[in-house]
Chain A
């Protein structure tokens, strides 16, 4: 255990570099996709929750059953149509001839954001939600509507929809269910909580702990976002909820460490009120005293969420993954970032105070007072 001999808090350069690299990679990935897609929104995988999209509903009739049974087969049929090269080519052609817009075939193809089924057998209906063509190319949805008509026609042909059989294909546009408003209110809630947490921590601890704790929380959010960008995980309302969950739980770890810092500092100053505190040593010690508990808590929460991700279907995994990233980010920031930040800030403040004190006359009396806070 070499780690125990080293001053963890003092190795802050390493600790600060790792998240910086992750965020840098995320920015590069974001820029890469944004440039390739010629659209800033392409940088992230934004779900139909936010972006809106189209819904196609296919109701199978007696005739459709038999050829390809089962939900997955039917879904495959629909997905194939959504990604059909011919349809994409026609839309690209239409875009340049009618609207004078140059657009790539990939940007026209619909990516499925979710699918659902109800009933089974001949009554089965399959609902597929998928993206609209980006509004950068298609401000009034003319291209999307044209594409949807082609998709509808292709599906109707496949399922042999006529007046007298029960098969049915319906197509509709949907707005963003998780509106801009939801994101706004979530971000507002996050900002207000951060400010209130800052106020509380400053009251119960001190200014520098508060700032360090809030920076750590911002780090958690940034890292979660970075990972979702890097792994192209869909950003939807569940992700927003996951982000808020992590912030709510991550603050706990940070506070436990700062409580120990507070206690250790108080204990040392009780013994020797005239001394100055080596903040790195203080943080390092507090960290090591609480490390086991931080690991334990993170591990116990990971247990449950990892099992959830393993057992759940792909959509569950897509949601659980950011939570798992967030748990790691929360642990990382609580243990490696906030104490080091605190020590850095506190040390520079102490140094400035010491300078002032050297200039002042009543050195002894004032130092006793200042080191107390």
Chain B
């Protein structure tokens, strides 16, 4: 029964997997200083996860905006809200999903987590300033303003033909306006002014009507980035003056994070004990996969840019770990049932995986739908949460469907039918899949007749518990557990039919 070659391969796979998982766990807790083991300053990967305001604190800056005379109160409020939103989008695009931008009267407060120096905020959102496009004739003449930054939708850095360029994208209206300006200015120079000072000037070669443009200059990445940030900052509908900035400390701080880590580890340990008690060696395979899952999940949280862990995020991770074993529980329950119904261990296993696949995929796809909607529709916090959720589900699917299966197969290579008890597999009476006595209410005598005929045809003696798993197997539960259920089912079939 036991194949020597399969055993050897299994041993290798299990060993390699164990080593990988152990390394994953070790590197989650150990940080290395410069030079140790010849490695340059390695930080344990969970410590790299960016934390939200509530856990790590951050920095805040407050800006106030003056109401321009030509604006009505309503317009001004709308402009504040517009500014608030563009700041929020800007921070999100830089990966600060948990940044909070709030407005109160004419004050806008920007809170950025995971930043210990308020100066960083200015690096992120720029020092808000005015942006103007004017014709450039000479360094001492200032011409009239042709266009302002209000119409800039976004600015960023692009790399083209070996140099860095600043790309500006206009709003629809801005695109038209810019097209008109540039067609008037072909051959002369267009100057970009920030806070009234000339930032750069460029010769207009042709009318630019595409709704976007690039500025070239002798930029390296940093100078191009700075310019893009400045232009973007100048595109806010209002002039903002910074009034106040400082650091903010975490509201929850270390205690919540520690509680989360301990809860995660204890929860994980309890789940491991739980599945091992219920499912024996199958549980061992699931536990290994679960530890692998936890390590990879945390690793992905650390490397994905849109993840900023908050209190809600920690709870989400804890739930994910609890749920990750769920698919395995479904599968193992199924394997137990299939084995109880008379299949041998290996068939029960492969059919168990196959038959639970539908439920697992359906359940997870619905959750994935939810996560994607959160990512698309939600605002900052909600979006970040969607990302966390999505990573969790995809990894857990992989872990429970692929990793556990491979591991289980490897472990099973060392055993045969005699060892079924190590997998908590028992023969017992199961309600058969087609226990029609419960399911079917015959409508009349005719239908019952037909039902019995159909049953008689379907349950011909040639149908035995199948080995392929493709066919539907007919079984009827005997009233008492049977020693050899396969044959008992057959013989008890007549009785079962009459039970109705």
Nearest residue in B to A282 (C-beta to C-beta)? B439
Asked if B330 contacts A256 (CB within 8 A), the reply is: yes
Residues 186-201 of A, flagged 1 when their CB comes within 8 A of B and 0 if not, give: 1011001100110011
Interface flag for B369 (CB, 8 Å): yes
Asked if B439 contacts A200 (CB within 8 A), the reply is: no
Asked if B366 contacts A264 (CB within 8 A), the reply is: no
Interface flag for A158 (CB, 8 Å): no
Interface flag for B185 (CB, 8 Å): no
Asked if A315 contacts B311 (CB within 8 A), the reply is: yes
Instruction: Name the B residues within 8 Å of A182 (CB-CB).
Output: 379-382
Instruction: Name the B residues within 8 Å of A176 (CB-CB).
Output: 102
Asked if A189 contacts B252 (CB within 8 A), the reply is: no
Interface flag for A231 (CB, 8 Å): no
Interface flag for B124 (CB, 8 Å): no
Asked if B451 contacts A116 (CB within 8 A), the reply is: no
Interface flag for B111 (CB, 8 Å): yes
Interface flag for B270 (CB, 8 Å): yes
Instruction: Give CA–CA (A249, B363) in the complex, Å.
Output: 9
SS class of chain A's interface: helix, strand, loop or mixed? Answer: helix
Interface flag for B196 (CB, 8 Å): no
- Which residues of chain A (301-317) have a CB below 8 Å from chain B? 301-305, 307-308, 311-313, 315-316
Residues 434-463 of B, flagged 1 when their CB comes within 8 A of A and 0 if not, give: 111011111100010011001100100000
Q: Given A242-B315, A303-B267, decide whether A193 and B374 contact each other with a Cβ distance below 8 A.
A: yes
Instruction: Give CA–CA (A302, B319) in the complex, Å.
Output: 8
Segment with Cβ contacts to A, from B127-135, B175-183, B254-262: B254-262
- Which residues of chain A (256-284) have a CB below 8 Å from chain B? 256, 258-260, 262-265, 267-268, 270-278, 281-282
Q: Given A201-B366, A272-B454, A281-B439, decide whether A305 and B374 contact each other with a Cβ distance below 8 A.
A: no
CB distance from B239 to the nearest CB of A (A): 19
Interface flag for A174 (CB, 8 Å): yes
Instruction: Give CA–CA (A255, B454) in the complex, Å.
Output: 31
Segment with Cβ contacts to B, from A38-46, A60-68, A86-94, A285-293: A285-293
Instruction: Name the B residues within 8 Å of A297 (CB-CB).
Output: 322-323, 325-326, 329
Contact check: which of B266, B360, B369, B450 meets A193 at CB < 8 Å? B369
The 9 A-B pairs at the shortest CB distance, nearest first, are namely A304-B267, A301-B322, A259-B359, A175-B104, A118-B249, A241-B312, A308-B263, A311-B259, A275-B440
30 A-B residue pairings within 8 Å (CB atoms): A116-B248, A116-B250, A116-B251, A118-B247, A177-B111, A178-B381, A201-B362, A241-B310, A241-B312, A244-B385, A251-B370, A255-B363, A259-B363, A260-B359, A263-B355, A264-B439, A267-B472, A272-B450, A278-B440, A285-B438, A289-B337, A297-B326, A300-B322, A300-B326, A303-B271, A304-B266, A312-B256, A312-B263, A313-B255, A316-B255
Interface set of A (CB-CB < 8 Å, partner B)? 52, 114-118, 127, 173-179, 181-182, 185-186, 188-189, 192-193, 196-197, 200-201, 204-205, 237-238, 240-242, 244-245, 247-249, 251-253, 255-256, 258-260, 262-265, 267-268, 270-278, 281-282, 285, 289-290, 292-293, 296-297, 299-305, 307-308, 311-313, 315-316, 319-320, 323, 354, 367
Interface set of B (CB-CB < 8 Å, partner A)? 57, 85, 100, 102-105, 107, 109, 111, 247-253, 255-256, 258-260, 262-264, 266-268, 270-271, 274, 278, 310-312, 314-316, 318-319, 321-323, 325-326, 329-330, 333, 337, 355, 358-360, 362-367, 369-371, 373-374, 376-382, 385, 389, 431, 433-436, 438-443, 447, 450-451, 454-455, 458, 472, 474
